């Protein structure tokens, strides 16, 4: 009778070990399923990019061949030569770089400035103004497109100019919201320390807040640059000369009435993707941290 408790304890230990093994097995199976799903999704995402890159080195007959060839049997650079010599890719690339670069710098700076004001400063009507800005996000962009076009093209005569392309998209409410959420996570004690050191309000923002906001600025910079680089519709509306076209608009010139130059379009798409990849790789160490901090802070 005295051995019974020990026997019961051993049985309970074995039962717990069995449950742990079952939980570990279920966890491993779940991880395997997740990895399989992620692997299939990665393949599904990567194949179109691989096809785009491969097609840029094919001639027109190989691109439309049946059955399709994933890799070019006779690689050629003719498509890249056409977009540089005939299409003016260099000029389009420069225009896109100017538009995306200036738009990103302006948007990041003013969004950070507004985010700092809404998150750290106390002034009358702060919440009302912020919620009014958020409410404006519910208005579709198509609603304001015609008035904006009339204002830019007819009133200010900014057609075929960098200003006409840049100004409508140089600041967005979504950017202000993102920076406000990020800066709300920063300790207010830093601002108090700046005031003790006799810093002005802008000095606190410039010397203290901005340097520690690199993750949030990087996230916003990537989002803004990619959006402006890929922007098609507005530059298409306000430019009608080949020298002022952005890259995305210029690539449409390889679409003709009865045929399309798929090789040139694929080569242009490859060239268009390079700057975005470079920007992301340069800022990736801040990207995940900035997304996480901005998401968890309400």
User: pLDDT digit string (tens) for 241-253?
Assistant: 888 999 889 888 7
Q: What is the mean pLDDT of residues 4-15?
A: 64
Tokens of 260: 């399309």
- Is the pLDDT at 28 greater than 60, yes or no? yes
User: pLDDT digit string (tens) for 203-232?
Assistant: 888 988 998 888 889 889 988 999 999 999
- Is the pLDDT at 37 greater than 90, yes or no? yes
The pLDDT value given to residue 86: 72
Q: What is the mean pLDDT of residues 82-101?
A: 86
Map the chain to HEC letters.
CCCHHHHHHHHHHHHHHHHHHHHHHHHHHHHHHHHHHHHHHHHHHHHHHHHHHHHCCCCHHHHCCCCCCCCCCCCCCHHHHHHHHCCCHHHHHHHHHHHHHHHHHHHHHHHHHHHHHHHHCCCCCHHHHHHHHHHHCCCCHHHHHHHHHHHHHHHCCCCCCHHHHHHHHCCCHHHHHHHHHHHHCCCCHHHHHHHHCCCCHHHHHHHHHCHHHHHHHHHHHHHHHHHHHHCCHHHHHHCCCHHHCCHHHHHHHHECCCCECHHHHHHHHHHHHHHHHHHHHHHHHHHHHHHHHHHHCC
Percent of the chain predicted with pLDDT > 90: 28
The pLDDT value given to residue 296: 46
User: pLDDT digit string (tens) for 256-272?
Assistant: 655 677 888 888 888 88
Q: What is the mean pLDDT of residues 27-46?
A: 91
The pLDDT value given to residue 1: 45
User: pLDDT digit string (tens) for 151-178?
Assistant: 999 999 999 999 999 988 888 899 999 9
State the pTM of this model: 0.78
- Is the pLDDT at 123 greater than 90, yes or no? no
- Is the pLDDT at 114 greater than 90, yes or no? yes
Q: Of 69-73, 87-91, 100-104, 284-288, which has the strongest mean pLDDT?
A: 100-104
Q: Indicate the average pLDDT of the chain.
A: 84
Query: In terms of pLDDT, which residue wins out, 276 or 132?
Result: 132
- Is the pLDDT at 101 greater than 80, yes or no? yes
Confidence of residue 87 (pLDDT cuts 50, 70, 90): low
Q: What is the mean pLDDT of residues 49-67?
A: 85
The pLDDT value given to residue 201: 86
């Amino acid at each position: 009778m005295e051995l019974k408790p020990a026997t019961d304890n051993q049985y309970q230990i074995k039962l717990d070990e069995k449950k742990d093994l079952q939980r570990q097995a279920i966890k491993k199976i779940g991880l395997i399923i997740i990895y399989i799903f992620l692997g299939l999704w990665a393949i599904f995402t990567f194949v179109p990019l691989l096809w785009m890159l491969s097609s840029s080195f094919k001639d027109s007959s190989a691109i439309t061949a049946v059955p399709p060839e994933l890799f070019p049997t006779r690689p050629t650079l003719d498509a890249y030569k056409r977009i540089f010599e005939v299409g003016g890719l260099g000029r389009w690339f420069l225009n896109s770089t100017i538009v995306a670069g200036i738009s990103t710098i302006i948007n990041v700076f003013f969004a950070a400035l507004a985010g700092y004001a809404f998150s750290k400063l106390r002034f009358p009507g702060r919440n009302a103004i912020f919620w009014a800005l958020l409410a404006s996000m519910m208005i579709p962009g198509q609603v304001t497109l015609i008035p904006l076009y009339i204002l830019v093209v007819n009133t200010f005569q900014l057609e075929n100019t960098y200003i006409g392309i840049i100004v409508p998209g140089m600041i967005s409410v979504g950017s202000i919201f993102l920076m406000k959420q990020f800066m709300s996570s920063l300790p207010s004690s830093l601002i108090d320390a700046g005031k003790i050191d006799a810093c002005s309000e802008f000095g606190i923002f410039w010397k203290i807040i901005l340097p520690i906001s690199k993750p949030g600025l990087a996230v916003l910079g990537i989002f803004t640059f990619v959006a402006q680089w890929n922007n098609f519709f507005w530059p298409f509306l306000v430019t009608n000369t080949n020298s002022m076209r952005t890259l995305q608009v210029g690539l449409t010139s390889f679409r003709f009435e009865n045929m399309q130059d798929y090789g040139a379009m694929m080569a242009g798409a490859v060239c268009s993707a390079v700057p975005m990849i470079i920007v992301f790789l340069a800022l990736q160490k801040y990207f995940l941290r900035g997304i996480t901090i901005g998401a968890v802070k309400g």
